[in-house]
Structure 1
């Protein structure tokens, strides 16, 4: 569900450069901007090829072929592609973007989401239905249990087809989203990419989203990339930026890869097309254009896709395909060694009789603009071709580029677009899974993630038993068990037995996932329970395990999970806390423990999260009766509640019990929350926790508000 980093080049016919001053011009480069260096390599008008003619302009890596899947007039100005469970292709169109050189009407409601179908099963789409046709620069979609999430400039909508005709009948704006696109479309939220940990990640965003019980939950997240998002079978996240082919991190598994730093970047920013690349925004600068007319480095990188457990086989496992629309190419990078043995990538280049070297996919058609890509249900790479001569937005356009584009007639036509499939020549189809649980074991990652998404987001508690059987099955494939464990975690049904079996497993990724999800089996995502520390220590002592697993087991056996906080919060210790040395000591220990075990949901500032966790700041549940607060911490709380007399809405009706934590830990956390964020109440001692446990030793069920 990646969405492209579209760098639109705007064009306008004019007779004199001196009449214009573009937003992208820099006063210090006035003389350079008037350069006509492009006439040396690309003086002619750019031809407009038919889809068949454009297809013939491709060169692709040996062993692959390029197939045309869809083209205009069925699709126009496509910028992303995704599939529903029935195999129908959903395409987003940016139809109002740069209709003229001044961007007139850019925010009119004319962009669409189209549903394409291949009714005769010949591999080419032959039927198109507009699901929605009145969006403002639609940016991405996500399928959820109740409908389709559609992101446009300024908002995220839930759209529903109530009568099965593939047209939206009902829509509801859930909240503001991508609001920055109203003034700068290149720098606003996009993607909604569902990953292994049950969250949807976004580029150019500081939040991640999850669909639960018919509502969106959001949590703070690390900012990543500019356009699009991808992930692999190990839960790594892939993203990129304008002049960077790709970047990848493994925050999902507590940043235990790479061995140094938090992310991995490409070994180079070089690019090798098969035609001159003069129509780029800053090519007036000396040295930007090489002697053969090509540019040396990328400046227009767009969406990406990752081949992981797809149709290309083990030799292409972990391959990153990144879009370079400005050079009419798709670059490919392969891991030097299988994950997690290395953090190095190799740029895949191929001999070319004319240009010496070229990228994985390259075209001599200057209007080929690969702005986005996705791995499909069939395990193949699909490339979205915006198919325009100009791809630079007016906000950054230089007079240099405007003049070249006008003279070479790159500004027209608009309203074209193609989608291609890159197929291995020995491609063999694999049937879809028979049901959702079977989908967790499918050979293709696409189906495993989609099945996991539907089970978790649909709240399919009726499937929990079968999913657990898969997670506990030592004969099942490792990645199937991993998906099953994450699915159980998403359902709130992951059991301690399953975690123990996983940690003890011989496959490193199953074992690492057991360690990663140990807290989930106790209902606390970010706290590593003490009872699993012995198992973690045993993992450290194993022979022939990857250093990644051994290091992780060693860290958490000694100090618990690394911090997963993404927001920095500087706690201000109140005067009354500082004056009481005993209180201050307990407060500080509790603060550290809170950040690990409670901060993800209730947040570092204690204000909670909508649809997820209520506020603890200035809450009568926190500052009121200490015994009630201890009871909630030890045994949990269920059912509707009121905070300060007002009903809490949207929050799941359960606070998981934390009775497995040590008395000292609970006393510290509760003391901290009672005296932080403007709260002021007394200290809770270890003896208070111990006394409560004795009094309520027969209790098992969580408390309800009425019982208090």
Structure 2
């Protein structure tokens, strides 16, 4: 028996070895076998785990390469413990995940880049990888799955701010520009040079676009926001900030979890309902407009939103018209995906080359940064041992049971003609990537084919894609644009064509374009009229004042539509007074033009043209100051250090008067001191910060705000102006405060 078993083992080993030598692929034992019990998904759909923590850790974003492989950003350093100590360690990475045995589950992972500091975003563009490392934005060429030449695109991309409020997204839009969440700049590699120019600051974490090219995003407490117009089209007037055309809340924030929820402010009224379930989003992120073409028609261009604090994903149906987009909960009081697994932390969503929807699940217990996490949530996570759920991570896949996924083509091997066909594919991911690959190939032989595609009218924006391929190839001409404007019957295509006429806004083209404008206005279409008003910005710069009458006609026609009025102010950059004096504008437009004139006189620019980097918010700055000044003695967790300093957490000095607390920080304290009924005999005194020229009144207010958030039962604040007044209220006799003086002083006077 023993001999037989040994022979079988040897034979099995030989069989495995010979299979490997023969070149056959064997199944990896790293494939995840994870139960999704406790996960609910909308009827007709299936959810599966295709990659897990044996192959990746703390994923926050991803992209697909031209072979269909997943590239994943792993932000391993984020909140490694409840105190957030060690988050600046260079332990982040970007990995390539593969399904080598082609059974639909990832079985192989290899690191492309490592030793990154809190990487949060990437995009496979221009044949290389655009990615973040700490505050910097880099582009690296890819050579046989290894990094090649690196180019520093932006040294201050994510400088300032907190990791939860730092620039991210890096999404290529249909207009060939790369947009971001939480940053007021966009990027493009054009003719060998990286371009960076201002754009509207959008959202907090994650960004997406629809087939037309409008952008969608959100922040922690607003589940879905969006622009009513194409990006950068209503910000031409640097002295006027549009308030209606961009950044609109599209839906309500109601959420329907299937279990009691542990969230940061769960103790506040109405945050949780009577059952302990979250009522409205508090950490929404990672929105996606589904454009995959492999779900039923009713799901086409739906907006999906991650709600990681409640372990669910929302689905919203979108309604479009020319000047407004609205969103509504798809199914009343029910989410697309909801789970009882409190480790399920969806943070980003993506369309895939096969038409499936992919979920980046960071899968961890702590998703709130130390700068913001309340004592309440800290205790909740600790009680549930969720703080121990670290170094996990998953990629999940959503498919529809009644429709088939698309075969994933190897785009690294297709020719230009094949890519042209993909511009009409019903999968938006394939259309977007085909557009970019055609530009990268620089194949001028396909120009005639692209021109033919500009006349196609379909729901997949084929003509728009073709126009931007021509633009990216520097093959767009005024004749091509003119033909589109006179022949196309699709308002969305005409809108983009009007925008692209701005490249050809010269006096030599004025006569023809004015005839085209006249014909387009006669069509009485809101979309066409809106983008005509927008594109006149460039044509007015030719000096032809007769074009003001075109704007005036549009203005009068849409006098009650604020989006139109904002677009007109944008186009009238520098010509506000001329319009006021000659066109008799409506009251709404007159007010907006007067505001722009006033702002110009005062040199008050729209902030996006001034701001270079994200500012550090008060609580993050307070955390930084606390760690550098206070934590050495009081401990990073505020629990104090034996024989050095008493605890801050839940102490009467933290929960009591803010003026008393500010006075201690300003003027110092000597022991002994009693905290929470226990006397601390301190051999040294706490020095005050009043004489430190590097510490401002606002800095002290920020320290207090952080301590109130992290260590107090009910957080309070103090203004910098109040801190300033307390500088002169020094302890009697000079020196630092004693406990006796603290108890005898009425700090509220």
- Please indicate the TM-score interval, normalised by the length of the shorter structure: 0.5 to 0.7
Other-structure match for 2:72: 91
Per-residue CA shift, 1:29-67, capped at 9, x if unaligned?
Answer: xxxxxxxxxxxxxxxxxxxxx965552221111221112
Aligned residue among 213, 231, 235 for 2:209: 231
How far apart, in 2, do the equivalents of 1:468 and 1:129 lie?
Answer: 38
1:349-388 aligned at under 5 Å gives the runs 349=331, 357-388=333-364
- Do structure 1's residue 453 and structure 2's residue 436 form an aligned pair? yes
Q: Which has the higher Rg, Structure 1 or Structure 2? A: 2
TM-score normalised to the size of structure 1? 0.66
Per-residue CA shift, 1:377-430, capped at 9, x if unaligned?
Answer: 122211111111111100111111111211211111311111111111123233
Other-structure match for 1:80: 61
Other-structure match for 1:662: none
- 8 Å CA contact 2:123–2:170 kept in 1: the answer is yes
Go from structure 1 to structure 2 and tell me whether the alpha carbon gap of 1:540 and 1:213 turns closer, same or farther (over 3 Å shift): closer
For residue 289 of structure 1, report the CA deviation from its aligned partner. Answer: 1.6
1:668-707 aligned at under 5 Å gives the runs none
1:384-463 aligned at under 5 Å gives the runs 384-431=360-407, 432=409, 434=414, 435-456=418-439, 458=440, 460-463=442-445
- 8 Å CA contact 2:426–2:460 kept in 1: the answer is no
Other-structure match for 2:48: 67
Other-structure match for 1:538: 519
- 8 Å CA contact 1:225–1:240 kept in 2: the answer is yes
Return the structure number with greater relative CO, CA threshold 8 A, min gap 6. 1
Aligned residue among 149, 153, 159 for 1:174: 153
- Do structure 1's residue 196 and structure 2's residue 178 form an aligned pair? no
Go from structure 1 to structure 2 and tell me whether the alpha carbon gap of 1:475 and 1:247 turns closer, same or farther (over 3 Å shift): closer
How far apart, in 2, do the equivalents of 1:321 and 1:474 lie?
Answer: 29
TM-score normalised to the size of structure 2? 0.63
- 8 Å CA contact 1:78–1:417 kept in 2: the answer is yes
Other-structure match for 1:289: 272
Other-structure match for 1:265: 249
- The two structures, once aligned, show a CA RMSD in angstroms of 3.4
DSSP 3-state at the match of 1:345:
strand
- 8 Å CA contact 2:264–2:376 kept in 1: the answer is yes
- Do structure 1's residue 142 and structure 2's residue 118 form an aligned pair? no
Structure 1 gaps, min length 5: 1-49, 351-356, 572-590, 596-602, 606-708
Other-structure match for 2:288: 305
Per-residue CA shift, 1:285-318, capped at 9, x if unaligned?
Answer: 1332211210111111111111135322431222
Other-structure match for 1:500: 482
Other-structure match for 2:452: 470
Per-residue CA shift, 1:457-484, capped at 9, x if unaligned?
Answer: x271535524533344457877211111
Other-structure match for 2:39: 58
Structure with the higher helix share, 1 or 2: 2
- 8 Å CA contact 2:356–2:405 kept in 1: the answer is no
How far apart, in 2, do the equivalents of 1:530 and 1:333 lie?
Answer: 46
Per-residue CA shift, 1:477-516, capped at 9, x if unaligned?
Answer: 7721111112212222212222122212122222222222
Other-structure match for 1:674: none
Go from structure 1 to structure 2 and tell me whether the alpha carbon gap of 1:502 and 1:250 turns closer, same or farther (over 3 Å shift): farther
For residue 565 of structure 1, report the CA deviation from its aligned partner. Answer: 6.8
DSSP 3-state at the match of 2:298:
helix
1:7-86 aligned at under 5 Å gives the runs 52=33, 54-86=35-67
- Do structure 1's residue 334 and structure 2's residue 293 form an aligned pair? no
- 8 Å CA contact 2:48–2:397 kept in 1: the answer is yes
How far apart, in 1, do the equivalents of 2:355 and 2:528 lie?
Answer: 29
How far apart, in 2, do the equivalents of 1:400 and 1:148 lie?
Answer: 41
How far apart, in 2, do the equivalents of 1:272 and 1:305 lie?
Answer: 19
How far apart, in 1, do the equivalents of 2:358 and 2:429 lie?
Answer: 13
- 8 Å CA contact 1:335–1:342 kept in 2: the answer is no
Go from structure 1 to structure 2 and tell me whether the alpha carbon gap of 1:224 and 1:95 turns closer, same or farther (over 3 Å shift): same
How far apart, in 1, do the equivalents of 2:43 and 2:371 lie?
Answer: 40
Other-structure match for 1:490: 472
Go from structure 1 to structure 2 and tell me whether the alpha carbon gap of 1:245 and 1:115 turns closer, same or farther (over 3 Å shift): same
1:534-683 aligned at under 5 Å gives the runs 534-542=515-523, 546-553=525-532, 556=536, 558-559=550-551, 562=567
How far apart, in 2, do the equivalents of 1:523 and 1:214 lie?
Answer: 26
- 8 Å CA contact 1:225–1:239 kept in 2: the answer is yes
How far apart, in 2, do the equivalents of 1:250 and 1:477 lie?
Answer: 19
- 8 Å CA contact 1:494–1:521 kept in 2: the answer is no
How far apart, in 2, do the equivalents of 1:459 and 1:520 lie?
Answer: 23
Other-structure match for 1:155: 136
Other-structure match for 1:39: none
